[in-house]
Structure formats: structure tokens, C-alpha cells
Amino acid sequence: MVKSISGMSTLAIYNKLFDGFYLSWHKISLLSHLYFVLGACFSGITGYFIILRLLLGIPCLLVLVIYKWSRRHLSMDDKIEEFLQSHNLTPIRYSFKEVKKMSKNFKDKLGEGGYGSVFKGKLRSGHHVAIKLLCTSKGKGQDFINEVASIGRIHHANVTKLIGFCVEGSKQALVYDFMSNGSLDKIIFSEENRNTLGWKKLFDIVIGVARGIDYLHQGCDMQILHFDIKPHNILLGANFNPRISDFGLAKLYAIDESIVSLTAARGTIGYIVPELVYKNLGGISYKADVYSFGMLVLEMVGRRKNLNPFANHTSQIYFPSWIYDRLDQGEDMELGDISDDEKVMIRKMIITAFWCIQLLPSDRPSMNKVLKMLESNVELLKMPPKPFHQLPLETSTEVHSCENSNDEESVLLHNQF
């Protein structure tokens, strides 16, 4: 009998196995057998119990998740319905079936943004529309309320027209007037399309956008702050008439509120007002839209993004800084072959834009004064200080208000209008 195979060669082990071997075991007492059976039974009961818990628990968990999800959407729907009932809105309320029909089941996609996709559609009258299908998981209904509340009761030639809307459970859609020439960014930032618009047409677009913002700030019964003025949100009609669109970040305030409260920064990098980041610069006001407008105008003049790390020369990486130095020193702005009248328009746009992007809100004009600057004699415009200095993290002077003094216009212009 071999008790251990340690030290044996493989051949020796093979020979022993070839000779055969005996198996033996100890007899188990009745008591030990009983323990074994009881242990197996207990183990089986525990297993069955675990399986039973899983079978009952998983459906219960699914029911709980569905309940929570439905409650969240119900509360969101209730919030929207309450809003719709409390406002006397001009736009038509469509069913989702009607929206699908007018868009031919969302066949022709025009674009996509942070809050949903936009599709082309047609009303029964034959009128073309743009249908924004909102992504409810992102805005949780608030973007729908923002858009309808801000433009649902107003009409202006330079503000996008809301024709109708749809709310059916989690399905939310907004129906706008269709703008055949798309968004401004697709023209000024595209190598193929950048020369589509002449300087006179660009100047007209600047004037139109300024009028639209001025109307939002002063022409309604409520002050509407857009907070996302940029080329992507400027839509162009058949004659390149501009309209301000995408009010998903807009906020409504009383006309007499000079400083407004925000729970979080909003907007797009490159157009966000400095005081949203550096609180010591001053409170948030309508001057936030003025700043974004200034950055928009400079991009229109340069027909490029203000920040371009791939520029031919390092000095041109940040276009506003480069063009300011050129204009201030009387150098050629390198904007191609332009007439004297076009030079006047360009100079007005640039100087006005630099007033709009001044660091302190109190140094920026209102949109009403921006319009006066753009429509004035260029010789009356004064070059503002260069706004590109290091932003202060701390300041010894406390800024209490963004309201400008009565003689602000004399700072912007050599003479009063």
C-alpha cells in the first residue's frame, strides 16, 4: 500500500496505478448522517428563500423605479400645464400626432442643439415651419417654459416667431417660423459661404439684432434677458433678415429690476459675461446680453471665431485684441478690398462692439444707446479703453450697480445726440 507519492517518479506512479488500487472509507454513524441531511435541508431552504426574495424583489424594484419616473414626469407635466393655464398665450397648441404629420414623421432634420433636434415641417396652409423637438431629460421642462414664456406673447421683426407648441406627457415640441437661410454661424464661419454677405448686409444684420435685443429689454411688459446671444442663435430669413432664436436660457424680470439673481452661470463660453465668473465686477443685468452682442459683432467683422489658436500669426490668435491695436494705431485692418462707405460701417461696428465688451458692466451702454451709436456719424464715436486686461480676483472698489449715469452717452460719443 502506498501512503504517499511524494518523492516517487512519474513512471513509478504510473506502474502503481497500472497494478490497481483499493478504495476504503469509514462508516458514518446514524447521527452523523442525520446531521448531514439536516444541513442539506437547511442549505436548500436558505437557497429557496434567496431565490424567492429575488423573484419578489426584482419586480418590486422595477415597480418602484417606474413609479418614481412617472411621478417625476407627472410633476413636470403638472408644472407645464399650470404654466399654460395661467398664461393667455397666442401660439396654437398642437397634438403630437399633428406635429408628426406636419414634419412627415420628423424626416427632414435641420440641426441639433443642447435642448433637442430641429426638423423642417409644413402647415396645412403650405407655410413652412421649424419644429424643435425638446429633449426632456436635459431641461426637465424648464427650457420649454422659458421659451414659451419669453416669446409666446410677443411679436417683433427681429425675434423668432413662435407659431405653436405641443405638450403630451414627455413629448414636447415648439413650432417656429421657418428661416430659409439658416443660422448666421454657418455663413460667417464657413470658407464656402463667408463672402455670401457683403458689408452692407452684415451691417443691416447687426442693426436688426440690436433692435431685437433692445425690444426684449425694453419693449415688452417684462424684461427678457436672453443669456445666449451668439451666431448660432441668429437665424436668417429669405432676405437675410435676422431673428433672435433659442430662448431656452432666457429669464424674465420686472422692467425696473436693474440687477437680477441667478442660481448658476448660463451661456456659451466666449460670449459669457465676465461678472458671471468674477462676482466683484458687479451684479448680473441686461448688460450680459450687451456683452454677448459685442462679441457677436466682432466675430461678424472678422468672419471667424474670436479665438483661433491656428491663426497665421500669434498676434491674430485673439481677434478682438489684434483688431483693436490695428484700429487704435490707424493701421490697415486687412479686411480685403473695401470702399470708403464700407470702412465707415466697419469702424462703427468695431468701436460699438468694444464699448459693449468693456470689463465693468457700468462701462457698457444699453442696447438703446448701442443703436444710436450704430446709426450716428462715425466721427462722433470715441474709441473706448482696451478691455483686455487681467481680470481682477479682488478689487478695492465695490461695484453696487450696473446702472449708468445720465451723462454716459457723453463718455461714448464726443457730442450728445
Residue 93 resides in a domain? no
- CA distances to 78, 174, 200, 255, 389 from 151, rounded to whole Å, are 21, 11, 29, 16, 37
Q: What is the pLDDT of residue 402?
A: 38
When pLDDT is averaged across residues 199-216 and rounded to a whole number, the result is 97
Q: Does one domain contain both 285 and 392?
A: yes
> At CB < 8 A and 24+ separation, what contacts does 406-410 make?
408/365, 408/369, 409/365, 409/369, 409/372
C-alpha cell at 101: 404629420
- Quote the strand ranges of 18-98, DSSP E: 92-93
C-alpha–C-alpha distance, residues 263 and 110, integer Å: 32
CATH number at residue 362: 1.10.510.10
Query: Which helix (DSSP H) or strand (DSSP E) does residue 293 occupy?
Result: helix 287-302
Q: Are residues 217 and 173 in the same domain?
A: no
Q: Is 7 left (phi over 0), alpha (psi -120 to 50) or beta?
A: left
- Reduce the DSSP state of residue 175 to 3 states and report it: strand
Last residue of a domain, one of 120, 148, 177: 177
Residue 132 bridge partners (DSSP): 118, 174
* Residue 126's CATH number: 3.30.200.20
Helix pair 340-356, 319-328: axis angle to 10 deg: 120
Name residue 235's amino acid: L
Contact (Cβ atoms closer than 8 angstroms) between residue 235 and residue 176: no
Q: What number is the average pLDDT over the span 399-413?
A: 39
Asked if the structure places residue 172 within a domain, the reply is yes
| Order of strands, sheet of 92-93, starting from the edge strand that comes earlier in the sequence | 92-93, 162-168, 171-177, 128-134, 116-122, 109-113
Q: How many domains, in total, are found in the chain?
A: 2
Query: What whole-number distance in Å separates Cα of residue 117 and Cα of residue 379?
Result: 46
DSSP 176: E
The C-alpha atoms of residue 18 and residue 49 are separated, in whole angstroms, by 48
Q: What is the pLDDT of residues 15-69, one digit of tens each?
A: 666 666 565 655 556 555 555 554 555 555 565 566 666 566 677 777 666 655 5
The verdict on 280 and 403 lying in the same domain is yes
Q: With respect to residue 320, please indicate whether it lies within any of the assigned structural domains.
A: yes
246 flagged as catalytic? no
Residue 337 pLDDT level (bands cut at 50, 70, 90): confident
From 125, 150, 177, the end of a domain falls on: 177
Between CA 295 and CA 315 the distance in angstroms is 18
Question: How is 351-383 classified by DSSP, letter by letter?
Answer: HHHHHHT-SSGGGSPPHHHHHHHHTS-GGGB-P
Tell me: do 112 and 136 sit in the same domain: yes
Does 227 lie in the same domain as 112? no
363 lies in the same domain as 387: yes
- Position 392 pLDDT exceeds 80: no
Q: Do 149 and 195 fall within a single domain?
A: no
Average pLDDT over the chain reads 80
One domain, residues 232 and 258: yes
132 among the known binding-site residues?
Answer: yes
User: Over the stretch 303-322, which tens digit does the pLDDT of each residue have?
Assistant: 999 988 877 777 778 899 99
Phi-psi region of 308 (alpha: psi -120 to 50; beta: other; left: phi over 0): beta
The pTM of this model reads: 0.74
Residue 398: per-residue pLDDT: 36
Q: What is the pLDDT of residue 14?
A: 60
For residue 178, pLDDT beyond 50: yes
Q: SS3 of 304, please? A: coil
Predicted pLDDT of residue 88: 58
Q: CA-to-CA distance for 110 and 123, rounded, in angstroms?
A: 17
**Residue appearing with cell numbers 446702472:** 403
Alpha-carbon gap, residue 373 to 355, rounded angstroms: 10
Could you tell me if residue 51 is inside a domain?
Answer: no
Displacement of CA 38 from its chain's centroid (Å): 66
Please enumerate in sequence order all residues whose Cβ is within 8 A of that of 20, keeping only pairs 6 or more positions apart, or say none. Answer: none
User: How far is 381 from 346, CA to CA, in rounded Å?
Assistant: 13
Of the residues 143, 214, 228, 363, only one is catalytic, namely 228
Residue whose entry in the numeric block shows the C-alpha cell 448666421: 184
Tell me whether residue 318 is in a domain: yes
